[in-house]
A and B are shown apart, each in its own frame.
Chain A
């Protein structure tokens, strides 16, 4: 499709080890429109993190192609079109919060900020950490560390933000608050977001669309539109519209195999 932020066609990823060959992804095709918010939902082992890494040029597909804004993932990475938020915040413990946010300016050719892009300080404010700039990671809570890592990923105004279960290790209350703020950040920055999760509620609350993956081998089980208003408060999760989308997704996952059902219960 024209104007696609991400376009994956027939992506297959195999990992060969001494004992066996694992097909992490089998013939996966999907796209995300520019400015969209797609959540990748599936049980552990369905290859959703691998898929994200194919888009980020961290894993090369065994066959098939991936394109980011019409270019290869490697070109998109070199052009700093991508921001990546990891499962653990992956902050450098010897750097203060603001120094961690500034890291992208110091490596990979020491770029200066594009004109009009928010400064590290402005990004700290955007993620609600004004006043914590000079704290070290060990002085911050898990939720705050993940906020810093989101600010770091947003530095330079990437057009695509890839998020790999960023809130998976946080308590439910912190997670809810960060979900709400991520929706706000998405609307404020206009960045395309591809978000991996194994929580059905998170997938539906955050996404404009949900791509459901099934395991063994990792493949697309369904793609569901989330027909909810753009401005969402957490309370929307109690509405019948929300509940029926969740029920529909659970049904898809249940039919995709018993392993899938187990996986989402564990979430």
Chain B
């Protein structure tokens, strides 16, 4: 390779090869951008065609045009209802993950605590969200609190498991190094374990970003009057399919935005290449 680089300006064969390579890369970049767009367009077209061709009644399923029109027309109602759902999801996300990080820290330093309480955590995690919701509504009333609790619970488990793994999977030689340097347990935690756990933490947070929204919506299914979840239930009972679809789209769009925010935070905080990819 180095020998060809030396005579680069003189070698027409290499110039042609490089030009061809650049053309190929440009084509690939466009493909990557255009193919998803084409996929979504095909999907929407197929949807519109089926609704039109089979004359699907409006209360069963709307056409994409009708959903788009509803999104524009009802955007005020939709956004007003997104506020509580988003607030609960974000509050639950913060609480659940914070609790998971703290408990993971305790588990790593006190093996007894891990052995005693990890089974309890697993047990709680096996209860499905739809079953947790009524329990928490009875416990906490009909305000935002039970929804926040559901969102928090749903985030908690994946983060706890990943965080424990991230704090523990430290390079053994780096641990020996810390010992040779007479580092305290506190220093090992802040200089080594915590930084080491960041890639693991972020892979859990990316899952939590979308599940927190799901938890918040499921919480609103039970006796709520506002929020994306309540709007879904209402439009279903009213056979208002365009509104139902529009609500779902708003909820998903928020999930995607939340996810993208976490990905951006990950790019900012984890700039190194993990030694063993998560």
On A, residues with C-beta under 8 Å from B are 53, 56-58, 77-78, 80, 82-84, 86-88, 90, 92-94, 103-104, 106-109, 136-138
- Whether B173 contacts A92 by the Cβ 8 Å rule is no
Contact string against A for B residues 163-203, beta-carbon threshold 8 Å, 1 for contact and 0 otherwise: 00000000101101111111110010001100100100000
* Residue positions of B touching A, CB distance < 8 A: 171, 173-174, 176-184, 187, 191-192, 195, 198, 271-275
Can you show 27 pairs from A to B with CB atoms below 8 A apart? A53-B176, A56-B176, A77-B179, A77-B182, A78-B182, A83-B180, A84-B177, A86-B176, A86-B177, A87-B173, A88-B171, A88-B173, A90-B171, A92-B174, A93-B273, A93-B275, A94-B198, A103-B191, A104-B181, A106-B191, A107-B183, A108-B181, A108-B183, A108-B187, A136-B272, A136-B273, A137-B272
B180 touches A138 (CB 8 A): no
Name B172's closest neighbour in chain A (CB-CB).
A90
Tell me, in angstroms, the Cα distance from A138 to B187 when the chains sit together.
24
Chain B residues positioned under 8 Å from A106 (CB to CB): 187, 191
The SS class assigned to the B binding surface is helix
| A51, chain B: closest CB distance, angstroms | 15
A138 to B275, CA, bound (A): 8
Please, how many angstroms separate the alpha-carbon atoms of A103 and B177 in the complex?
A: 10
A265 to B141, CA, bound (A): 74
- Which residue of the partner chain A has the closest CB to B270? A94
**Residues of chain B lying within 8 A (CB to CB) of residue A90:** 171, 173-174, 176-177
B113 to chain A, nearest CB (A): 25
Q: What residue in chain B is nearest A96 (Cβ atoms)?
A: B272
Q: List chain A residues, Cβ under 8 A from B179.
A: 57-58, 77
Q: A107 with B181: in contact, given A92-B192, A93-B273, A136-B272 (CB under 8 Å)?
A: yes
Q: Which residues of A contact B274 (CB under 8 A)?
A: 93
**For the complex, what is the distance from the CA of A241 to the CA of B177, rounded to whole Å?**
38
- Given A87-B173, A93-B274, A56 contacting B181 (CB threshold 8 A): no
Residues of chain A with a CB closer than 8 A to B178's CB: 107
A91 nearest CB across to chain B (Å): 8
Q: Are B195 and A92 in contact (CB under 8 A)?
A: yes
**Chain A min CB distance to B267 (Å):** 14
Residues of B within 8 A of A86 (CB): 173, 176-177
Bound: A18/B233 CA distance, A: 59
CB closest chain-A residue, reference B182? A108
Expressed in whole angstroms, the Cα–Cα distance for A82 and B179 within the complex equals 11
Contact A58 B182 (CB under 8 A): no
Given contact pairs A56-B180, A77-B180, A94 touches B174 in the complex (Cβ within 8 A): no
- A136 (CB) vs chain B CBs: closest residue: B272
A84 and B176: CB pair below 8 A?
yes
Give chain B residues whose Cβ lies under 8 Å from the Cβ of A138: 272-273
User: Which residues of chain A are near B195, meaning CB under 8 Å?
Assistant: 92, 94
Q: A84-B180, A90-B176 are in contact. List 8 more A-B contacts (CB 8 A).
A: A57-B180, A58-B176, A86-B177, A88-B171, A93-B272, A106-B191, A107-B182, A108-B181
Cα–Cα, bound, A103→B272 (Å): 17
Q: How far is the CA of A94 from the CA of B178 in the complex (A)?
A: 16
Cα distance A88–B276 in the bound complex, in angstroms? 14
Residues of A within 8 A of B273 (CB): 93, 136, 138
Max chain B CB contacts within 10 Å: which of A56, A86, A136?
A86
Nearest 10 pairs of A and B residues by beta carbon: A108-B182, A107-B183, A90-B173, A138-B273, A86-B173, A93-B272, A107-B187, A94-B272, A84-B180, A108-B181
A109–B274 alpha-carbon span in the complex (Å): 28
Q: Which residues of B contact A137 (CB under 8 A)?
A: 272
Residue in contact with B184 in the complex, picked from A87, A103, A108, CB distance below 8 Å: A108
In the complex the two chains form, what is the Cα distance from A57 to B176 in whole Å?
A: 10
Most chain A beta-carbon neighbours within 10 Å: one of B182, B271, B273? B182
Residues of A within 8 A of B272 (CB): 93-94, 136-138
With the chains together, A94 CA to B180 CA distance in Å? 20
Closest B residue by C-beta to A82: B180
Shortest distance between the CB of B272 and any CB in chain A (Å): 4
Chain B min CB distance to A109 (Å)? 7
Task: Please report the C-alpha to C-alpha distance between residue A88 and residue B175 in the assembled complex, in whole angstroms.
Answer: 13
Q: Which residues of A contact B180 (CB under 8 A)?
A: 56-58, 77, 82-84
When distances are taken between beta carbons in the complex, the residues of chain B under 8 Å from A103 are: 181, 191
**Distance (whole angstroms) from the CB of B97 to the closest CB of chain A:** 21
